[in-house]
Amino acid sequence: MTLPCLSGAMPAAHLLHAVIDGVVVLLFLLVFLVATVANTLILAVLYRRPSLRSTSNSLICSLSGTNLLSVSVLLPLVVIDTAKPELLHDDVCRPMDAVAMFVITSSVIATVIIAVDKFCAIEEPLRYHSVMTPGRAALLAGVGWTASLASAAASTIGELRTRGWAVCQPREQVADPHDHSDEFRDNRSWTSRRQLVIIVQTAVVFFLPLVLLTWIYFCISRAARRSSARARSCAQLPHRPPPEAPQGDELPPPEQDPVTGCLRRVLSRLVALWNSEEARAVKVSVMVVVLFACCYVPFFAIELVRVSLARSLPPVYTHVSLIFVVSNAALAPFLYSLRSQTMQAEVRRLFLGRLADNRRSDAAGRRARARSTQSASVTPSGDGEEPPEPPGTPRTRFNVLGHPTYIRDSSMDSDSSGMTGVTAISVESTELEVAPIHRV
């Protein structure tokens, strides 16, 4: 009776693993689409607009290249290892580990270099162009790629049994107890080397950059806070006494609830603080650090657990952790570049092209015609004068004492011969009230 139960439990377990693998593959495909489109747009915009090719944007280009490498090389390997690991040979186990570590290290170093560039721009704004030159930026990017290659080479050291890929797991056809050169055999020397490599990589590639990023963006937020305080102190006006209350029978203003007034003041201050430059710097800093931690903590935590246990874990842990790693390639473009209004305008222009320019010019033309029509309805003569009145229409003027004076322009009146006569201005009421003058 136990055999049917076991046979029924096995298909359920296989079905659960199949569902998990399917969800993982769908997530990888979604990340692939978003990361490919976002990073390609950044490179296309910077290629199309040479005016945007600054030093900071060149570093962002390096990060975009790393992201495209992540989704074009690492992601297909992970999908194949998740769905059909039998399609891969055992010899690709170490190269797959090397590719993963190369992508992770290059992405981490590119993120740190961008943070250093922002730190130099905030702390040394006058000397920024002399400190962060295009040559130095290219040198930093080259050093980052070289360090990534070194990290990838170091990740090939160690046995295969403690690696997280499905293709690296021992198989029945290669299990031979008499083969002492078998790489799936428990070798203490290779296990200790693998542990040392993982510990060093976790400290150098993850913990040290995380501490450095936290300190850099803390300094950037502090500098933004000082700048905001300086701007507020410069914008303060001298204190003026409040105007005196008007005299008369006016009713006093209604008294406000002190609690409601206090809440309104606090809410207005919070809204102003949230929209201030200081708040924007703090929000960006927090998002960068949180994104970095969320994307790389699962991968390095699983690697440390695996080497500490000295045995293999189910490959699904590695696959899920790599989802977080590759998601950095999809989220980083929106955090560093596509959040800018200038970049968004260039992306819209890149998609719409001349159609957007034509629509914009047509809208500008319609606004100009509307303004001209409105101004013509106010001043139809075009010289800022009043519109002409029919001949003989009396016009009202006011004398020095404020009394109305009616003036009729007879310049268009003709005599009996039809010739235009001389202008005659008839004053119908020019009464002036003059006060008596007293002589001393």
| Domain CATH code at residue 296 | 1.20.1070.10
**Per-residue model confidence (pLDDT) at position 90:** 72
> Above 60 in pLDDT, residue 434?
no
Which of 136-150, 261-275, 281-295, 378-392 is predicted with the least confidence, judged by mean pLDDT?
Answer: 378-392
To the nearest 10°, the Cα dihedral for 34, 36, 37, 38?
Answer: 80
**Per-residue model confidence (pLDDT) at position 111:** 93
Q: In this structure, what token pair is assigned to residue 230?
A: 């300086």
Give residue 264's pLDDT band: very low, low, confident or very high (50, 70, 90): low
**Per-residue model confidence (pLDDT) at position 173:** 39
> Above 60 in pLDDT, residue 404?
no
Q: In this structure, what token pair is assigned to residue 221?
A: 């937020």
Which of 67-71, 150-154, 430-434 is predicted with the least confidence, judged by mean pLDDT?
Answer: 430-434
Give residue 215's pLDDT band: very low, low, confident or very high (50, 70, 90): very high
**High-pLDDT (> 70) share of the chain, %:** 61
CA distance 114 to 42: 15
189, HSE (Cβ side, Cα atoms, 13 Å): 1
pTM for the whole structure: 0.66
> 369 lies in a domain?
no
* Contact between 117 and 137 (Cβ < 8 Å): yes
Q: What is the mean pLDDT of residues 96-119?
A: 92
DSSP 98-147: HHHHHHHHHHHHHHHHHHHHHHHHHH-SSSHHHHS-HHHHHHHHHHHHHH
Q: To which H or E segment does residue 404 belong?
A: strand 404-409
**Per-residue model confidence (pLDDT) at position 387:** 52
User: What one-character DSSP code corresponds to residue 166?
Assistant: G
* Contact between 205 and 303 (Cβ < 8 Å): no
**Per-residue model confidence (pLDDT) at position 6:** 42
**Per-residue model confidence (pLDDT) at position 139:** 92
The rounded mean pLDDT for the chain is 73
Q: What is the mean pLDDT of residues 167-183?
A: 50
User: Largest alpha-carbon pair distance within the chain?
Assistant: 141
> Above 70 in pLDDT, residue 395?
no
**How much is the CA Rg of the chain, to the nearest whole Å?**
39
Select, from the ranges 79-88, 126-135, 236-245, the one with the highest average predicted confidence (pLDDT): 126-135
Give residue 282's pLDDT band: very low, low, confident or very high (50, 70, 90): confident
> Above 50 in pLDDT, residue 275?
yes
* Span 359-390, pLDDT tens digits: 767 777 787 788 777 766 655 444 444 455 55
CA distance 302 to 295: 13
Give residue 17's pLDDT band: very low, low, confident or very high (50, 70, 90): low
* Span 22-50, pLDDT tens digits: 787 788 889 899 999 999 999 999 888 88
Give residue 101's pLDDT band: very low, low, confident or very high (50, 70, 90): very high
Q: What is the mean pLDDT of residues 195-215?
A: 92
* Span 127-161, pLDDT tens digits: 888 888 888 898 999 999 999 999 999 888 876 66
Question: 186: Cβ–Cβ under 8 A, 6 or more apart, which residues?
Answer: 161
Helix (H, G, I), strand (E, B) or coil at 422: coil
Distance from the first to the final alpha carbon of the chain: 138
CA distance 75 to 84: 14
**Per-residue model confidence (pLDDT) at position 421:** 41
Give per-residue burial for 278-302: e unless 16+ CB within 10 Å, then b.
Answer: bbebbebbeebbebbeebbebbbeb
> 330 lies in a domain?
yes
Number of domains in the chain: 1
Range of the domain at 291: 16-169+190-233+268-354
**Per-residue model confidence (pLDDT) at position 270:** 52
Question: 325: Cβ–Cβ under 8 A, 6 or more apart, which residues?
Answer: 70, 100, 103, 104, 295, 296, 299
CA distance 320 to 326: 10
CA distances from 299 to 191, 292, 317, 325, 327 (A): 19, 12, 9, 7, 12
> 407 lies in a domain?
no
Instruction: Scan for tokens 């990534």, then name that residue.
Output: 148
> Above 50 in pLDDT, residue 211?
yes
> 427 lies in a domain?
no
Which of 28-32, 149-153, 165-169, 289-293 is predicted with the least confidence, judged by mean pLDDT?
Answer: 165-169
> 419 lies in a domain?
no
**Per-residue model confidence (pLDDT) at position 320:** 86
**% helix / strand / coil in the chain, to the nearest 5?**
70, 5, 25
| Helix 93-123, helix 315-336: angle, nearest 10 | 30
CA distances from 138 to 198, 210, 239, 410 (A): 29, 23, 53, 84
**Per-residue model confidence (pLDDT) at position 123:** 82
**Per-residue model confidence (pLDDT) at position 15:** 74
CA distance 83 to 86: 9
> 359 lies in a domain?
no
* Contact between 264 and 182 (Cβ < 8 Å): no
**Per-residue model confidence (pLDDT) at position 28:** 83
301, HSE (Cβ side, Cα atoms, 13 Å): 11
Relative to beta strand 404-409, strand 425-427 is: antiparallel
What are the strands, taking DSSP E only, across 292-357?
Answer: none
> 276 lies in a domain?
yes
> Above 90 in pLDDT, residue 97?
no
> 175 lies in a domain?
no
Q: What is the mean pLDDT of residues 62-86?
A: 87
